[in-house]
Structures are given as structure tokens and as C-alpha cells.
């Protein structure tokens, strides 16, 4: 009975893990998901992540119990005719080799793991285009006062715009997320309302505008660029690839168009990819 329960638990939990893995594989970057209040099947990115972690631990416990209950059967696969464990059998060696290959291939950027990660980045980039990029990291957690200061907005006009749209605001010390949540809005939608009476700032909310302000924010944040190849980075931020290669090679980096921003940062002894971004966008 226990063996059946353990086997079925492992089977069901791995199905849930497959679902959460697919969702987290394609979900927009955290800064985008939180800014747009992204949900799937009524659950936020954070909730999907919580399910994934807890289910992963649950599956791990069930798997350990399953291995313990079926240890004799597992060892039977590794037995020689003489009865000794055969850890040099072709099946064991191939299984181990495949596991090691996928693990280290993901770290080294080897195909097909590289393509799998790149496709995930592509899906996340689509999220940026659809939902827009927050003006700075975790802007939704800033109070209205701090948000207005960082964005160069008039706080009184911001409060007036929110009230004129029919939404309540109890205090300017409330966060953007709190105000938006009570109004049934996303932080992004609240931002758009705040800019209603401040037209000189409205260009910053259009993710397709290509404004210098947005490009500056995107570059300076350095968020999500580590896995980009230099070629992809230049395409995204409208930079000349040859110029970028020249700048980096002058600094002593051994680099080509396929080198990732994270690899460039490492080769130059920099602390983060955003420093490479600053180097290319002085």
C-alpha cells in the first residue's frame, strides 16, 4: 500500500512540476511581471514560484521514499550475473553521462541547452514588449512620494490624477502596489493615470517609443541582460556591433558577437553585467 501511494504521489507531483516549470519558463521577467501584475490561471509569478519550490521539495521527499522502498529492484538493474553491483554497465554509464552533460552544458552554454535558455529569454522579451518595462526595479514597492521624486513627477498632480480617475488614495506614504491593488489596477495602469496631467512625462510609459529616457533606464538597470549575446544586446538597444566590439577589445576583452554580456563582465573582472552596459553606453 505504501509503495503504491509513494509511486502515485511521485507521478502526480511530477506532473504539477512540469506545469509550473512550463509557466516559469515562459513568464515575463520578474520586474515586468510585478509591474504589470501578471497572472496565469489567477496566480501571480510569485505564487507559481512558491508552488514550484514546495512541490519540488515534496517530490524530492516522495522520490527518496520511493527509492528506499524499491531499493532491491533498483539494484537489480545494476547486478551482474555474479550478483555484484555493476556500476559500469552501459545503461548506468549512459544515464550518468546524459545527466552530467545537461547539468554542465547549461552552465557552459552548450547546445541544445543554450537554445533552450535562449528561447526562454525570447519568451520573456515578448513579455517586455507586451506589458512594458517598469521605470526602475521594483518601482511598485515605492511609496507615491518616492516614486514621484525618482520619476521627476509633481506629487500633487499625481494625487489629483488618481482621485480624478475615481480611485481612493489614503496617503502618499502608500506604495504604488497598494494604491493600484485597492483600485483594481496594475501598477503600470496606475502609472499611466498618474501621468494624465503631466504630458511631458508620458513618453516614458510607451514600451515601443524607443525614447532615450527608456533606453537609458533599460541600460542602467542591467536587469535581464546577462544571458544576451553581444549581438542580441546591440540589436535590442540599437547599438553598432562593430563599435561595441572595438570598445570591448580596447579594454582587453576577448570577445565576439556570440559572447554573452555576463561572460564579458567576467573576462574584464567586472562585478555585474550592468557595468558592461555602462561601458557601451557612456
pLDDT per position as a tens digit, 240-251: 899 999 899 888
Which pLDDT value is given to residue 233? 87
3-state secondary structure of 96: helix
- Quick one: 272 exposed, middle or buried, by C-beta within 10 A (0-12, 13-18, 19+)? middle
Q: How far apart are CA 2 and CA 65, in angstroms?
A: 10
Per DSSP, the three-state class of 67 is helix
CB neighbours (10 Å) of residue 209?
A: 13
Count the helices and strands in the chain (H runs, E runs): 15, 2
Helices 45-69 and 2-26, axial angle in degrees (round to 10): 150
Structure confidence at residue 208 (pLDDT): 42
Q: What are the pLDDT digits (tens) for 189-235?
A: 999 999 988 866 555 454 443 333 344 344 444 446 777 889 888 88
Amino acid at each position: 500500500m505504501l509503495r503504491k501511494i509513494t509511486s502515485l504521489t511521485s507521478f502526480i507531483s511530477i506532473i504539477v512540476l512540469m506545469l509550473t516549470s512550463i509557466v516559469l519558463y515562459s513568464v515575463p521577467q520578474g520586474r515586468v511581471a510585478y509591474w504589470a501584475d501578471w497572472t496565469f490561471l489567477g496566480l501571480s509569478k510569485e505564487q507559481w514560484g512558491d508552488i514550484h519550490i514546495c512541490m519540488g521539495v515534496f517530490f524530492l521527499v516522495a522520490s527518496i521514499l520511493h527509492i528506499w522502498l524499491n531499493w532491491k529492484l533498483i539494484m537489480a538493474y545494476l547486478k551482474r550475473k555474479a550478483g555484484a553491483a555493476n556500476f559500469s554497465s552501459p545503461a548506468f554509464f549512459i544515464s550518468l553521462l546524459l545527466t552530467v552533460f545537461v547539468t554542465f552544458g547549461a552552465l557552459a552554454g552548450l547546445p541544445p541547452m543554450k537554445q533552450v535558455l535562449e528561447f526562454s529569454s525570447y519568451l520573456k522579451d515578448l513579455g517586455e514588449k507586451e506589458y512594458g518595462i517598469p521605470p526602475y526595479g521594483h518601482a511598485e514597492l515605492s511609496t507615491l512620494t518616492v516614486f514621484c521624486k525618482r520619476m521627476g513627477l509633481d506629487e500633487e498632480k499625481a494625487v489629483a490624477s488618481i482621485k480624478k480617475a475615481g480611485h481612493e488614495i489614503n496617503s502618499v506614504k502608500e506604495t504604488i502596489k497598494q494604491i493600484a491593488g485597492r483600485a483594481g489596477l496594475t501598477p503600470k495602469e496606475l502609472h499611466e493615470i498618474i501621468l494624465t496631467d503631466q504630458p511631458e512625462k508620458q513618453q516614458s510609459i510607451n514600451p515601443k517609443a524607443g525614447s532615450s529616457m527608456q533606453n537609458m533606464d533599460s541600460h542602467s538597470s542591467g536587469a535581464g541582460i546577462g544571458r544576451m549575446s553581444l549581438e542580441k544586446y546591440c540589436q535590442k538597444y540599437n547599438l553598432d556591433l562593430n563599435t561595441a566590439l572595438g570598445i570591448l577589445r580596447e579594454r582587453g576583452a576577448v570577445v565576439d558577437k556570440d559572447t554573452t554580456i555576463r561572460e564579458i563582465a567576467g573576462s574584464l573582472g567586472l562585478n555585474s553585467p550592468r557595468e558592461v552596459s555602462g561601458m557601451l553606453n557612456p
